[in-house]
Amino acid sequence: MTVGIILLFIGVAVAPSINFTVVKASTDNDLVEVTTQACGINGFGNTTVKLTKEQYQNLEQYLVDFRARLNQTTTREEAIPIFKEAVIELNKYGLLPKGMSIGQAQRLVSGEYLSKRMMNALEIIAKKHLVSNETNSLCLTVGRVHMPDMTTLLMMMSMPYIALAGLIMLLAFHLPNGYVALMICTLLLIPILIVQFISYISPFSMIVVGHFYDSNLSTFGLSGLHKSIHGDLFGFIGLKLWVGAMESSDEFFLLGFSIATRNY
């Protein structure tokens, strides 16, 4: 009887902790982890929040309504206020990058983060080379994308030099004038070092470049309103959101500004 009473007390003491663990695990399963990352600007960390299913459904519904409102616009200027309102809504869920204010996020997603001089120079180039039915340029960008090969502009610029330098270095071991090849290789490394130096200057360090597929992307730029399923995204600056671990998914939600997009 004594042993039975002792076991009874132990059971009473352990049961609440077991129940708590089960309830906590169940609650965690009901939460949706959403992460926000700033692209095209330095000094701000990723923000990860756990939303209830109801909060997440409300956020999804807002984004559906947000896209519906955008579909009623035809120019970049008409869409800018709607983009800025979206930042305020994301802030309600704590989904702005760490250390970023609402005003900074609004400038980022609307393209106002780029200087007017830079925008004017980009517009001159874009009007000559990037205005067509297949391309859009200097455009507000929003939508769900699959981008498995997402990279940064600086990484893309340095890849040809790195590949060429590596090839010459390999040839240097098999040629009699290997010293000349190594000297050429060294000269090729100079542009890489310059690129690496520029990589510390915002916004070049984080501007996203990539190929997207099976997506639902809308852009508002010099060519008007474009809707894209497959294509290339060049020079994205803004907010990138994803659900769960970034390593386990190539699906993102983008809200921001792009230098150019191309449809396939």
Q: Would you state the structure tokens that stand for residue 65, as one six-digit string?
A: 């309504």
Residue 12 pLDDT exceeds 50 = no
Residues 39, 131 within the same domain:
yes
176-221: pLDDT as tens digits? 655 666 666 666 666 656 655 554 444 444 467 778 888 889 998 8
Residue 247 pLDDT exceeds 70 = no
**Does 230 or 194 have the greater pLDDT score?**
230
Rounded Cα distance between 141 and 227, Å, is: 10
Residues 143, 188 within the same domain:
no
pLDDT at 92: 95
- Mention every residue, 6+ apart, whose C-beta is less than 8 A from residue 157: 195
Residues 59, 169 within the same domain:
no
Residues 57, 171 within the same domain:
no
Residue 62 pLDDT exceeds 90 = yes
- Mention every residue, 6+ apart, whose C-beta is less than 8 A from residue 259: 122, 126, 137, 138, 207, 234, 235, 236
Q: What does residue 160 show for φ and ψ, rounded to 5 degrees?
A: -60, -40
116-168: pLDDT as tens digits? 777 777 777 777 766 677 888 888 999 999 876 556 554 444 445 555 555 55
Rounded Cα distance between 50 and 55, Å, is: 9
**Does 4 or 219 have the greater pLDDT score?**
219
pLDDT at 120: 75
Residue 174 pLDDT exceeds 60 = no
Alpha helices in 99-220 (DSSP H): 102-110, 116-129, 153-172, 178-198
Percent of the chain with pLDDT over 90: 28
Positive or negative torsion for Cα 248, 249, 253, 257: positive
pLDDT at 80: 92
Residues 163, 240 within the same domain:
no
Residue 75 pLDDT exceeds 50 = yes
Whether 70 and 139 have beta carbons less than 8 Å apart is answered as no
Cis status, amide bond into 203, omega within 30 of 0: yes
Provide the 10 A C-beta neighbour count for residue 167: 13
Residue 93 pLDDT exceeds 90 = yes
pLDDT at 59: 93
Task: Tell me which long-range contacts 197-205 makes (C-beta under 8 A, separation of at least 24).
Answer: 198/154, 199/152, 199/154, 200/42, 202/40, 202/41, 202/42, 202/43, 203/40, 203/41, 203/113, 203/114, 203/237, 204/153, 204/154, 205/42, 205/152, 205/154
Residues 174, 207 within the same domain:
no
Residue 61 pLDDT exceeds 90 = yes
Residues 48, 102 within the same domain:
yes
Full residue range of the structural domain in which residue 174 is found: 154-198
pTM over 0.85: no
Q: Would you state the structure tokens that stand for residue 244, as one six-digit string?
A: 């769960």
In a domain, 170, yes or no: yes
Residues 159, 148 within the same domain:
no
17-36: pLDDT as tens digits? 333 333 333 345 689 999 99
Residues 100, 160 within the same domain:
no
Between the CA of residue 129 and those of 74, 119, 150, what are the distances in Å?
22, 15, 24
Positive or negative torsion for Cα 116, 119, 124, 127: negative
In a domain, 4, yes or no: no
Average pLDDT value for residue range 222-251:
83
Residues 71, 163 within the same domain:
no
Whether 79 and 110 have beta carbons less than 8 Å apart is answered as no
Residue 7 pLDDT exceeds 50 = no
In a domain, 224, yes or no: yes
| Secondary structure element (H or E) that encloses residue 13, with its range | helix 2-29
Per the document, the length of the chain is 264
In a domain, 250, yes or no: yes
Q: How many domains does one find in the chain?
A: 2
The mean pLDDT value of the chain amounts to 74
Residue 47 pLDDT exceeds 90 = yes
pLDDT at 56: 93
Residues 173, 243 within the same domain:
no
pLDDT at 32: 92
Residues 81, 133 within the same domain:
yes
Average pLDDT value for residue range 75-85:
89
pLDDT at 101: 95
In a domain, 57, yes or no: yes
Residue 95 pLDDT exceeds 70 = yes
Positive or negative torsion for Cα 61, 113, 158, 223: positive
